[in-house]
Structure 1
Amino acid sequence: MRSIVIVCLLAVIAIQAAHSFMFEVRPAEEKCLVEEFRRDTLVKGSYDISDKLSKNIAYPTELIMQSMQMKVYIRDAHGSLLHDNQDAKSSNFAFTAHEAGEYLFCFLDAYRPHASVMPLSRTVRLEIKSGAEAHDYTDLITKGTLKPSEVELKKIEDSVDSIKNELMYMKGREETMRNTNESTNSRVAWLAIFCIFVLIGTATFQITYLKRYFKQRKLI
């Protein structure tokens, strides 16, 4: 019983944990992160674009900063655009995953039109929250709807619901993969049987043909 409780607590922590990333994007380079969400999952997050400049630069920092232009966009599982920022510094985003699948979070460090100086690499800080962690409970406290202790219980309840939905989603995917594997195995088995009959037929034809050929030549 104790082990089950520990597993449940670890699962709650995993559901509530937000994904934080930090990486560099070089000039004219595009970096994309892929996150998989199930259907009807609330996703919120933020990103911050900082400038990583070398100490030994030939141009003033202000001039280099003016030449930088970071493009940020988010696409859903079908490639539809969910978020688009052509000159990003820092911003928040929020959407609901209407379809299950992989979502792209892309950052492209492009030059400004007619830029006179090549921009240097920059550091991107990206934070993604989904499920129960993406819900905002501050309004429940400020409006007096729930007490702080009740809000914590609400968070746990939402986390448990998220775990349940995640398990159901994983179960559905497992069933889909199992059906696909069984269908593939069945087709492979029929293909193997077909190949065996083709080989037997080819061997029978070759033996019959050779016997007839040798008889015509009076070799046997």
Structure 2
Amino acid sequence: MRHTGSGPNATHARQPETSGCAVAVGAVCDKMAATQWLRWLVLLRCGAALCAGLYFHIGETEKKCFIEEIPDETMVIGNYKTLMYDKQREDYLPSPQGLGMFVEVKDPEEKVVLSRQYASEGRFTFTSHIPGEHQICLHSNSTKLSLFASGMLRVHLDIQVGEHANDYEQIAAKDKLSELQLRVRQLIEQAEQIQKEQNYQRYREERFRGTSESTNQRVLWWSIVQTLILILTGIWQMRHLKSFFEAKKLV
């Protein structure tokens, strides 16, 4: 009688396959674990970059401008902090007293909404009255401070628009609101902000439609003008050739 799959020989023959599978599975698991760790590292790095916020460098007489699309009747708050470069320490340190930032804001019609000089650290606030692209410009009063001459200044800037600009903890403490009342107020302001955004998008759509219709009309009129020019040129050429042939007595 034959016994397949039993006996010491069969057992020893299967052992290498089992160990090979275990090694392969272990390698796959290690690779998956390494990939997972790599993803976590990337997420942590991105989170650290987001926590660092936006900053930029400006020179002594340099001006930096940012364009922000803002609906009408929307409050905007900008928080900033300036750091001066120290050549001895080769690092950015808090700015000294006397160094300030000049902030200027213009609406889409180039009208000045805000023009004021602030300290080296603080916030500026304004409310938009016209929907569209608002220009926010910052530059330092470096001409009044000789320490900043030919140096670089790092400016950390955080711009908050609409309901994101509200400090709800301060509002709750001031108006003595409960958690439920505060949440309801947040939802109401979020709904109002969404409505403003919708109105602004509708305004942009109407403006884009007007621009498209105007462009189409101009293209149509230009095509008509080109056609008339070609017709008049053809008539002139025919009359010129006819007079030429008549002068040469070919006709």
TM-score class, shorter: 0.7 to 0.9
Deviation of residue 65 (structure 1)? 5.2
Contact 1:69 1:112 in 2 (8 A): no
In structure 1, how many angstroms separate the alpha carbons of the residues matched to 2:75 and 2:89?
44
Deviation of residue 101 (structure 1)? 2.9
In structure 1, how many angstroms separate the alpha carbons of the residues matched to 2:145 and 2:193?
49
In structure 2, how many angstroms separate the alpha carbons of the residues matched to 1:45 and 1:117?
24
Match of 2:186 in 1: 155
After TM superposition, the score normalised by the length of structure 1 is 0.76
In structure 1, how many angstroms separate the alpha carbons of the residues matched to 2:55 and 2:148?
25
Query: Relative to 1, partners in 2 of residues 1:137 and 1:114: Cα closer, same or farther, differing over 3 Å?
Result: closer
In structure 2, how many angstroms separate the alpha carbons of the residues matched to 1:32 and 1:187?
34
Query: Relative to 1, partners in 2 of residues 1:166 and 1:21: Cα closer, same or farther, differing over 3 Å?
Result: same
Q: Where is the strand percentage greater, Structure 1 or Structure 2?
A: 1
Deviation of residue 55 (structure 1)? 3.4
Pick one of 157, 167, 171 that aligns with 1:126: 157
Contact 1:72 1:108 in 2 (8 A): yes
Q: Structure 2: state its 5+ residue gaps.
A: 1-52
The 10-residue stretch of structure 1 (198-207 or 144-153) with the greater mean CA deviation from structure 2: 144-153
Structure index of larger Rg = 2
Give the total of aligned pairs.
195
Query: Relative to 1, partners in 2 of residues 1:116 and 1:180: Cα closer, same or farther, differing over 3 Å?
Result: closer
Runs of 4+ in 1 over 6 A off after TM superposition: none
Correspondence 1:50 to 2:83: yes
Larger RCO of the pair (alpha carbons < 8 Å, separation 6+): 1
Correspondence 1:80 to 2:96: no
RMSD (Å) for aligned C-alpha atoms? 2.8
After TM superposition, the score normalised by the length of structure 2 is 0.67
Percent identity over the alignment is 28
Deviation of residue 116 (structure 1)? 7.0
Local SS of the residue matching 2:57: strand
The 10-residue stretch of structure 1 (187-196 or 115-124) with the greater mean CA deviation from structure 2: 115-124
Q: Structure 1: state its 5+ residue gaps.
A: 1-19
| Aligned AA (2:121) | S
Contact 1:25 1:107 in 2 (8 A): no
Contact 2:106 2:136 in 1 (8 A): no
Match of 1:5 in 2: none
Q: Where is the helix percentage greater, Structure 1 or Structure 2?
A: 2
